[in-house]
Amino acid sequence: MNYSESMTGTPRTRGRKAADAAARIREIFARLAARNPHPRGELDYVNPFTLLVAVVFSAQATDVGVNRATKSLFPVADTPEKMLALGEEALREKIKTIGLFRAKAKNVIELSRQLIARFDSQVPKTREDLESLPGVGRKTANVVLNIAFGEKTIAVDTHLFRVSNRIPLAPGKTPEAVERGLLAVVPDDYLQHAHHWLILHGRYICKARKPDCPLCPIADLCLWPEKTTV
């Protein structure tokens, strides 16, 4: 049920539809939580700095590919100081299998320099400060705030964007619209892990080309008219 549908009819009818929509969303997250009570992102990291770097690397790249590149990087460059000491050329060499590796290496070196100069070598804990760093956009900031600092944020990647519009949960034409919609409808007790559940659901079940609807734990709650049957 979308917002416009929930606002049709008498006040009593609208109230009932809104309650039904809220109950449906709560049940969706209850089932996802039951299957995976403690979800986590699939990027490897050892501290907030390496998490930030890994998420910057993950733009237009797979988590598997990023993890493969950072396996040899993080043991020698797990602080801004060590990353600067490594240098941009050596960093490019270590991450050359990742898409856009030249731009990402440049951003991470400058990001490291700014962390030292502006934040006493610490990853900042506010969205504004995070987004002021090279290569850090809203999604990256949300991931770091959520995983490193326990903030109840929604990081919208391509999987989550697809799932939210397809089921639907919070339809939107832009990632930020989906993010704001989800923040408004996801029950607070599920908000901490909501984006992990939705990303993993989109990555492994509600896939772009051929979703595995017969294996989906929320298929009966999904309103998408094009569910697969085999």
- Burial class of residue 58, CB neighbours in 10 A (0-12, 13-18, 19+): buried
What are the chain's domains?
Answer: 24-39+154-221 (1.10.1670.10), 48-149 (1.10.340.30)
Annotated catalytic, 120?
no
Known binding-site residue numbers: 206, 213, 216, 222
Average pLDDT, the chain: 94
- Give me the catalytic one of 44, 125, 157, 220: 157
pTM of the model: 0.89
Judge contact between 87 and 105, C-beta under 8 A. no
Write down the pLDDT at residue 3: 43
What does the pLDDT average to over 33-40?
A: 95
DSSP annotation of 220: G
Find the length of the chain: 230
Asked if residue 148 has pLDDT above 80, the reply is yes
Percent of the chain past pLDDT 90, that is, above it, reads 89
- Give me the catalytic one of 139, 152, 188, 227: 139
Quick check: helix, strand or coil at residue 56?
helix
Asked if residue 6 has pLDDT above 90, the reply is no
Write down the pLDDT at residue 150: 96
Annotated catalytic, 157?
yes
Query: Alpha helix (H) ranges present in 40-131?
Result: 48-57, 63-73, 80-86, 88-94, 101-119, 127-131
Q: Which residues contact 92 (CB under 8 A, 6 or more apart)?
A: 101, 102, 105
Known binding-site residue numbers for [4Fe-4S] cluster: 206, 213, 216, 222
What does the pLDDT average to over 39-60?
A: 96
